[in-house]
Amino acid sequence: MSDETKPGLEFAGHEFARASLDACVKCTICETQCPVAAVTPLFSGPKFVGPQAERYRNGDSVDHSLDYCSSCGTCTLVCPQGVQIAELNSQARAVMKADHMPLRDRLIGQTTLMGTMMTPVAPIARAALHNKPIRTIMEKVVGVHRDAPMPPPQGQTFASWWAKRPKPATAATRGTLVFFHGCAGGYFEVETSKKSVEVLEHLGYEVIVPKQGCCGLAQQSNGLFEQASASVLKLCDDLRAAGRDLTIISSSGSCTGMLKHEAHEIMGVDDERLKDVGTRIRDIMEFLLDLHEAGELPTDFATIEMTVPYHAPCQLKSQGMGMPAVEVLGLIPGLTVVESGAVCCGIAGTYGLKKEKYEIAQAVGKPLFEMVKKTNPNLALCDTETCRWQIEQSSGVKTEHPIWMVHRAYGLS
């Protein structure tokens, strides 16, 4: 056995994704939809680094262009044959980076840590993150591009607000839901979390918010599979502690995806706890659509005369349920929702933060930024946090979670 080969990732999930390469008939559809291959010749495309290169891998990946894959998941989504292209790429990249993981990529995955540290000093942190010289130093030392969108530190965490708020006036009539806010929803996008639970309570649900950790997505997308697996299982314990048969609602689109399928398909986490949480979790817009399909969603919405652009994030699309937000928002009178038609905003979680990927990420998102500006320079809607920060930073258009519109239409804001 040659010394130059390394063992591959040691879990069955790797073999499953690898076995799916047999379904590839080289149709090139994935290549035509890949947002990164569209903007740079440095990335050889998903077909190349996925099912094609996988036949050459023996536990090691020597095609470094793989690093340009943003793991947006578009390739797997559009593949008509069922090749797990994005999963293969993520796994191969984890193997490739295993021996020389940059410090930056370790730090970038520590969303909870960042949140905990920044919240108490939010105004200062905010100022620092927008301070040019500080950002320039950050770029040189850590490798995060000086213009990359940063999470906005808030003065109060969602958990703290939840603990201090008075109980809702009306009693619950519909049952209990568990709310999963995710790190961003806990520390940075607190308003979105607040509005989410207010809508759910308005519908008559009792909402439980258990103490909860990080889903591990940022760690996973940087190839830190061990840490990410530990994080996601701990989160499953947190969410299961709230009650075993309850539906779990999340307003963090990408975290939902991590629990529904990514942790299993990319990292091979094969645990009853993950399976349980993965089948019970719903994205909040998905949940509202389900209610509507069952005839149980009140549609006494106020009229909102507005044309607003909506961008479906990659990690929402790859859950394979279409675009529930478009359906639900379509129920609000006067509101015209225009689908962005763009594949990806470019941020791909932490990809677009990195100094060597920043220009590519901006090029990827350019058609989206222009569409948003053209459609409504004052407001855009998108279901995941990092995408919202990217769109806002690069287009200048305020970007909210679709639940804000529902909240408004129910007269709650």
Is 19 an interacting residue with respect to other proteins (CB under 8 A)?
yes
Residues paired with 309 in a beta bridge? 338
Is 195 an interacting residue with respect to other proteins (CB under 8 A)?
no
Phi, psi dihedral angles at 127 (to 5 degrees): -65, -40
* Part in contact with other proteins (CB under 8 A); list of ranges 144-152, 193-201, 319-327, 403-411: 319-327
Within 328-357, which residues bind other proteins (CB under 8 A)? 339, 341
Is 299 an interacting residue with respect to other proteins (CB under 8 A)?
no
Per the CB < 8 A criterion, the answer to whether 404 and 199 are in contact is no
Nearest one of 413, 356, 404 to 380, comparing CA atoms:
404
**Nearest distance, CB of residue 6 and other proteins, angstroms:** 11
**Nearest distance, CB of residue 46 and other proteins, angstroms:** 13
Is 7 an interacting residue with respect to other proteins (CB under 8 A)?
yes
Per the CB < 8 A criterion, the answer to whether 156 and 119 are in contact is yes
| Two structure tokens written together for 89 | 């790429």
b/e per residue 195-212 (b: at least 16 CB within 10 A): bbbbbbbbbebbbbbbeb
Is 18 an interacting residue with respect to other proteins (CB under 8 A)?
yes
| Two structure tokens written together for 297 | 């969603």
Within 243-262, which residues bind other proteins (CB under 8 A)? 256-257, 259-261
Of 38 and 122, which has the nearer Cβ to other proteins?
Answer: 38
| 3-class state of residue 342 by DSSP | coil
Within 63-92, which residues bind other proteins (CB under 8 A)? 63-65, 77-82
Phi, psi dihedral angles at 131 (to 5 degrees): -85, 120
Is 199 an interacting residue with respect to other proteins (CB under 8 A)?
no
Cβ-proximal residues to 151 (8 Å cutoff; 6+ apart), any chain? 111, 114, 115, 118, 184, 187, 188, 385, 389
How many residues are given for the chain? Answer: 413
| Two structure tokens written together for 75 | 């390739």
**Nearest distance, CB of residue 20 and other proteins, angstroms:** 10
**Nearest distance, CB of residue 34 and other proteins, angstroms:** 10
Q: How many residues bind other proteins (CB under 8 A)?
A: 69
b/e per residue 124-152 (b: at least 16 CB within 10 A): ebbeebeeeeebeebbeebbbbebbbbbb
Within 101-140, which residues bind other proteins (CB under 8 A)? none
Within 26-65, which residues bind other proteins (CB under 8 A)? 26-29, 31-33, 38, 41, 44, 47-48, 52-65
| Two structure tokens written together for 198 | 């207010």
Of 108 and 249, which has the nearer Cβ to other proteins?
Answer: 249
Tokens 């279901």 correspond to what residue? 383
Nearest one of 125, 194, 126 to 159, comparing CA atoms:
194
Of 49 and 138, which has the nearer Cβ to other proteins?
Answer: 49
Q: Work out which of 17, 24, 209, 235 binds other proteins, going by CB under 8 A.
A: 24
**Nearest distance, CB of residue 194 and other proteins, angstroms:** 25
Chain residues binding other proteins by CB under 8 A are: 1-2, 4-5, 7-8, 10, 12, 14-15, 18-19, 21-29, 31-33, 38, 41, 44, 47-48, 52-65, 77-82, 256-257, 259-261, 278-282, 293, 317-322, 327, 339, 341
